[in-house]
Amino acid sequence: MKHYSIDEIQGWERFYRANFVNSLSGFKPVSLISTINKEGIPNLGVFCNIVHIGADPAYIGFINRPIDAAPHTLSNIRANGLYTINHIHPEFIAQAHQASAKYPEGVNEFSEVGLTEDYKADFVVPFVLESQVQYAMELTEIIPLVMNNTFLVVGKLLHAFLEPSMLSKDGFIKLDEASSMVSLGMDAYYTTKPNVRLQYAKPDRPAAQIDC
Ligand SMILES: Cc1cc2nc3c(=O)[nH]c(=O)nc-3n(C[C@H](O)[C@H](O)[C@H](O)COP(=O)(O)O)c2cc1C
């Protein structure tokens, strides 16, 4: 295979380099993050840098770009500490992608992109009705990453909504059956197909396959 040094990569044209680096770390769990501003007007954003932080307590984080580039999700979360994360499926990929557009503050992005607000569980922030896997989060910590002015936003899981038929008997969620999409780079979306589940690895035996 060919060697690409960081000096060579840094010499590339800006968008070519961004596509290369954004793809390099692999497929990402792409979702819509919904928030509300002080007036209760909902905002949507597409987020793929979503990461599991811990299972007990259940913490999930995401990376927010510099505030000038992506101000609304972060300022709404700072204001009221609540947000929902909603998986994206092929049926509404165009509408979801449109939510990454920079609409002015105060524009209801659900109506703008053609998705439906879903209010439930006494949660003030809407879920995305079209999404088959939805969860509600409460802000725990915003950690500024000073080297590039981004933020790691960590929240605590409060509610989750999905069909029980997606659940395996051991609690594993078969997201491929919901056609939850993953993304690559900033513009490519994929559906997934399962390969294998393997037992917890231990030094003294090969991990056996797990049935879903
Ligand atoms: C596929 C895809 C993935 C994205 N992932 C992120 C992300 O992880 N973090 C981020 O800050 N913006 C991400 N964006 C850009 C945001 O969707 C965009 O800035 C959005 O409008 C959020 O801005 P707002 O919070 O001001 O509404 C992504 C866009 C696309 C199309």
Residue 39 falls inside a structural domain: yes
What's the rounded mean pLDDT across residues 20-33?
Answer: 98
CATH number of the domain enclosing 80: 2.30.110.10
What's the rounded mean pLDDT across residues 115-136?
Answer: 98
Determine what percent of the chain is predicted with pLDDT higher than 90. 99
Query: Tokens 């909603």 correspond to what residue?
Result: 86
Residue 63 falls inside a structural domain: yes
Q: How far apart are the C-alpha atoms of 99 and 28, rounded to whole Å?
A: 17
Residue 154 falls inside a structural domain: yes
> Does residue 212 register a pLDDT over 90?
no
Instruction: Express each pLDDT in 70-119 by its tens digit.
Output: 999 999 999 999 999 999 999 999 999 999 999 999 999 999 999 999 99
Residue nearest to atom 2 of ligand 1 (CA): 186
Of 199, 166, 188, 162, nearest in space to 46 by CA: 188
Hey, which of 46, 88, 109, 181 would you mutate to test ligand 1's pocket, going by the most ligand atoms within 8 Å of its Cβ? 46
Instruction: Express each pLDDT in 132-153 by its tens digit.
Output: 999 999 999 999 999 999 999 9
Q: How far apart are the C-alpha atoms of 38 and 106, rounded to whole Å?
A: 9
> How sure is the predictor about 211, in pLDDT bands with cuts at 50, 70 and 90?
confident
Hey, which of 33, 41, 51, 65 would you mutate to test ligand 1's pocket, going by the most ligand atoms within 8 Å of its Cβ? 65
Residue 204 falls inside a structural domain: no
Range of the structural domain that residue 129 is part of: 14-190
Residue 48 falls inside a structural domain: yes
Residue 28 falls inside a structural domain: yes
Instruction: Express each pLDDT in 34-81 by its tens digit.
Output: 999 999 999 999 999 999 999 999 999 999 999 999 999 999 999 999
Instruction: Express each pLDDT in 168-183 by its tens digit.
Output: 999 999 999 999 999 9
Residue 8 falls inside a structural domain: no
Of 208, 184, 209, nearest in space to 194 by CA: 209
Ligand 1 within 6 A of CB of 47: yes
Residue 206 falls inside a structural domain: no
Question: How many domains does the chain contain in total?
Answer: 1
- So what's the pLDDT on residue 157? 98
- List all residues 6 or more positions away from 164 whose beta carbon is below 8 Å from its beta carbon: none
